Amino acid sequence: MNFNFILKEMKNQQLYNYILTIADNSLILAQRLGELCGHGPNLETDIALTNISLDLLGQTRSYYQYAAKISGENKTEDDIAFLRIEREYKNCLLVEQPNTHFGYTIARQFLFDVYHLMLMEKLQNSPDETLAAIAKKGIKEVSYHKRFSSDWVKRLGDGTEESKAKMQEAIDDLWRYTDELFFMTEAEKEMTKEGIGINISAFKEKYYEEVSEILKEATLTIPENKYFTKGGKEGVHSEHMGYLLADLQYMQRTYPNMTW
Amino acid sequence: MLVENLNIETHLIPVLKTVSDPEIPVLSVLDLGVIREAVEENGIVHIKLTPTYSGCPAMDVIGDDLKKAFSEIGKKAEVELILSPAWSTDWISEEGLQKMEKYGIARPLSESNDKDVLLGDKKLVKCPQCGSTNTHLVSQFGSTACKAIFKCDDCQEPFDYFKCLK
């Protein structure tokens, strides 16, 4: 094994990790939204949430297929989705938070969508052709998600006394997870240096500006809480993650290699 | 976009025409514009297929159907899924749009008109049942990722609208 070979392997490993950093957010959020299939507050929102889930899952599959290809091992997209342990998932804490009530589902979606769209807009220009293609495709879907979630933030925030209180409660509670979106892991730093990855910390300010603008329009109060929590992107997840993975992985763990 | 601009070999077209979108069975994969290339080399048909939406579950089925359709005439087909360039509703053929309307799905509007109707402030979507544009949006999301739900305020029929995607 020569030095160049080892170097190439290391770069591939970082790219692999980088892809998962982006893809795991989509997988875990898709799983959360999928829980609401048949349980949405009404037919239209039920369909909307599961449609969003499906878009995210589709994006996840494209990322995982790419990751499987470069992994150098005999992996498939399903192995990556179903057979990792909790510490190996690199999603942020925000997306794993439970559905709680419709206000939380919408707040989580909204806080993620604004970030997600900004990321896709940058990623579509990445010199990595596969990542750029996934982002270009995803951008059309994500902008539709954002339209849906921000509409609901406004409708509930500027709605009845009760809907406003619930929306505010959800935004206040989930606010602490927003800072992590801009935390750069080793893989992200490395890939940004390579020119492939996106320097997400650069659009943090723009993110809070845009979120605040919509919250204002929704007549909601912008949280002043400066206490933020992070860990998910480095595999240290909240107490909710284990239950989510138990649901997600159950079939593959119980009946290994099953297909339909 | 016309089939002539794509690298689709003429002798393969009759077979491709028999494969339809499982969600909108009146549309063939050619009408829908999801076939980006079809060439035969050394007896094997190579097809490049692009999804309408990332998570479209019809893609796996379409891939299998394509292989089946070619195997029925004794040919082996290999299907490759490509993401770039991303699919657009502009790629649905005029014939496809007409079939779609006849089937009961309103055709996609232009990009700016699409925004106007989906934000709910303009009445532009034509009811596929009675032709009236006195319609309103019921849900931004519909039975499949590519559609939204509308209702006609004249004939009172609910219907699907194929969202503009560019």
Q: Give me the residue spans of the domains in chain A.
A: 3-254
Q: Which of B47, B90, B101, B93 is nearest to B69 (CA)?
A: B47
- Give the residue from A56, A57, A140 with the most B CB atoms within 10 Å of its CB, the best one to mutate: A140
Q: Is A44 on the interface with B (CB under 8 A)?
A: yes
In whole angstroms, what is the distance from residue B19 CA to residue B29 CA? Answer: 6
pLDDT 10s digits, A236-247: 999 999 999 999
Of A130, A141, A148, Cβ closest to residue B140 = A148
- Length of chain A (residues): 260
In whole angstroms, what is the distance from residue A15 CA to residue B95 CA? Answer: 44
In whole angstroms, what is the distance from residue B142 CA to residue A204 CA? Answer: 33
Structure ipTM over 0.85, yes or no: no
Q: If you write DSSP's letter for every residue of A123-179 in order, what string do you get?
A: HTT-SSHHHHHHHHHHHHHHHHHHHHHHHHHHHHHTS-HHHHHHHHHHHHHHGGGSG
Note down pLDDT in tens along chain B; length 166 residues. 444 578 999 999 999 999 999 989 999 999 999 999 999 999 999 999 999 888 888 888 999 999 999 999 999 999 999 988 889 999 999 999 999 999 999 999 988 888 777 776 788 999 999 999 999 998 888 888 889 999 999 999 999 999 988 8
Q: Is A69 on the interface with B (CB under 8 A)?
A: no
CB contact (8 A) between residue B145 and residue A61: no
In whole angstroms, what is the distance from residue B155 CA to residue B153 CA? Answer: 6
Q: Which of B32, B64, B26 is nearest to B51 (CA)?
A: B32
Domains contained in chain B, CATH given = 3-91 (3.30.300.130), 104-162 (no CATH)
Which residue in chain A has the smallest CA separation from B143? A47
In whole angstroms, what is the distance from residue A36 CA to residue A110 CA? Answer: 17
pLDDT 10s digits, A161-174: 999 999 999 999 99
In whole angstroms, what is the distance from residue A46 CA to residue A52 CA? Answer: 10
Q: Are strands B7-8 and B35-41 parallel, antiparallel or unpaired?
A: parallel
User: A102-123 vs A3-34: helix axis angle to the nearest 10?
Assistant: 150
Asked whether the beta carbons of B148 and B142 are under 8 A apart, the reply is: yes
Note down pLDDT in tens along chain A; length 260 residues. 567 777 777 778 999 999 999 999 999 999 999 999 999 999 899 999 999 999 999 999 999 999 999 987 889 999 999 999 999 999 999 999 999 999 999 999 999 999 999 999 999 999 999 999 999 999 989 999 999 999 999 999 999 999 999 999 999 999 999 999 999 999 999 999 999 999 999 999 999 999 999 999 999 999 998 899 999 999 999 999 999 999 999 999 999 988 87
CB contact (8 A) between residue B55 and residue A138: no
Quick one: tokens of A43? 């037919």
In whole angstroms, what is the distance from residue B8 CA to residue B36 CA? Answer: 8
In whole angstroms, what is the distance from residue A97 CA to residue A29 CA? Answer: 9
Q: Which of A209, A32, A204, A215 is nearest to A109 (CA)?
A: A32
Q: Chain A contacts of B139, Cβ < 8 Å?
A: 43-44, 47-48
Q: If one looks up domain A3-254 in CATH, what number appears?
A: 1.20.1260.10
Q: Is B155 on the interface with A (CB under 8 A)?
A: no
**How many CB atoms neighbour CB A66 within 10 A?**
21
In whole angstroms, what is the distance from residue B116 CA to residue B123 CA? Answer: 8
In whole angstroms, what is the distance from residue B7 CA to residue A5 CA? Answer: 38
